[in-house]
């Protein structure tokens, strides 16, 4: 019997998925951890007798030290695409096989629009005040009240026009927005092929948009891409939406920019050092926060774990010894 540990199933839902049928008849025992383990020594102790690991996106980093300390480990499966949370060189050195899966652009695209609409119409503040007995109010103090706004006729800026960005653009057009794109040459070519405007100069792009949404991969080139100067180029009533990677923004830059008044608001699904890193943004009245829900929905989980469980079944049925 091979023991496989699934890390960070925060909601305790993996064991209930239909995808688990993929393991029917396999000589595999699943151990599902629902609470994150941040201290490296405690994590090594929890995983010491695991033959395989399944990672839920980037929730836990598996370092070279952890890999070296797990003598039974033969396979690590990453749900979705491989990311920076796994030391691939260490896996190769220690004979640990690595498998990944496919992504789902629809789920994060839909969440992007949930955030844009909720932030633009101020849905969460209205609901909170309604629960307190105040009708059509977003704050207890009338002096602090302000209205939401519609999106039709406004400009949507998409930074990174890939699979997700294209879906976001389609909805923006359906709502009557002008869609403009910024990014590298592939984004430019795809945007022009779709008949969308492309703005090459970064500050011109940032200064024209009412809503900016980021859809970029995290790499050395994009890390801390938006700093104080870029954010200061945005309009004082603009909304910045990030469902991609927190590290696209320089540390501290967004909160400082909001205090300075440019942009006017933000909606965030991703944070550095999750979940603790969300706290400083949750306290800001101009920021709408969600707990990294871009991939957290039924269909994506079923797809992710159907692939992951197939990898486990096939590997342990025929995989080479470590």
Q: Is 245 a catalytic residue?
A: yes
Choosing from 274, 284, 302, 313, the catalytic residue is: 274
Do 60 and 35 meet the contact criterion of CB atoms below 8 Å apart?
no
Q: How many CB atoms lie within 10 A of CB 281?
A: 19
Q: Is 274 a catalytic residue?
A: yes
Long-range contacts made by residues 191-195, C-beta under 8 angstroms, separation at least 24?
191/161, 194/166, 194/169
Choosing from 74, 122, 245, 262, the catalytic residue is: 245
DSSP letter at 320 equals P
**Do the bridges between strand 265-268 and strand 287-289 make them parallel or antiparallel, or are there none, so unpaired?**
parallel
Choosing from 154, 167, 182, 292, the catalytic residue is: 292
CA-to-CA distance for 123 and 173, rounded, in angstroms? 22
Please report, for residues 42, 225, 240, 311, the alpha-carbon distance to residue 248 in angstroms, rounded to integers and kept in the order given. 30, 5, 12, 31
Bridge partners (DSSP) listed for residue 6: 32, 54
From 262, 239, 248, select the one nearest 117 (Cα to Cα): 239
Angle among Cα 291, 293, 295 to the nearest 5 degrees reads 150
Active site residues: 245, 274, 292
């Amino acid at each position: 019997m091979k023991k496989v540990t699934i890390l960070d199933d925060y909601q305790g839902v993996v064991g209930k998925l239909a995808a688990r049928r993929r393991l029917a008849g396999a000589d595999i025992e699943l151990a599902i951890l629902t609470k994150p383990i941040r201290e490296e020594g405690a994590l090594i102790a929890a995983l010491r007798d695991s033959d395989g690991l399944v990672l839920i996106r980037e929730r836990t980093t598996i370092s070279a030290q952890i890999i070296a300390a797990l003598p039974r480990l033969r396979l690590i499966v990453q749900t979705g695409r491989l990311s920076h949370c796994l030391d691939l060189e260490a896996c190769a050195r220690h004979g640990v096989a690595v498998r990944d899966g496919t992504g789902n652009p629809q789920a994060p695209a839909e969440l992007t629009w949930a955030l844009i609409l909720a932030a633009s119409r101020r849905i969460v503040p209205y609901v909170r005040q309604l629960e307190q007995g105040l009708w059509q109010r977003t704050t207890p103090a009338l002096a602090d009240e302000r209205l939401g706004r519609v999106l039709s006729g406004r400009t949507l800026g998409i930074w990174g026009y890939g699979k997700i960005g294209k879906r976001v653009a389609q909805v923006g057009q359906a709502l009557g927005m002008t869609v403009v794109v910024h990014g590298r040459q592939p984004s430019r070519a795809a945007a022009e092929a779709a008949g969308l405007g492309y703005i090459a100069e970064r500050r011109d792009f940032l200064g024209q948009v009412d809503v900016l949404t980021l859809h970029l991969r995290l790499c050395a080139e994009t890390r801390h891409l938006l700093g104080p100067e870029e954010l200061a180029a945005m309009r004082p009533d603009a909304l910045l939406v990030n469902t991609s990677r927190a590290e696209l923004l320089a540390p501290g830059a967004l909160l400082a920019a909001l205090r300075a008044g440019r942009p006017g608001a933000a909606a965030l699904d991703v944070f550095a050092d999750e979940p603790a890193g969300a706290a400083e943004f949750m306290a800001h009245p101009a920021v709408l926060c969600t707990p990294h829900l871009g991939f957290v929905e039924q269909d994506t989980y079923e797809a992710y774990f159907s692939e992951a469980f197939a990898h486990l079944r096939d590997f342990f049925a025929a995989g080479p010894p470590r």
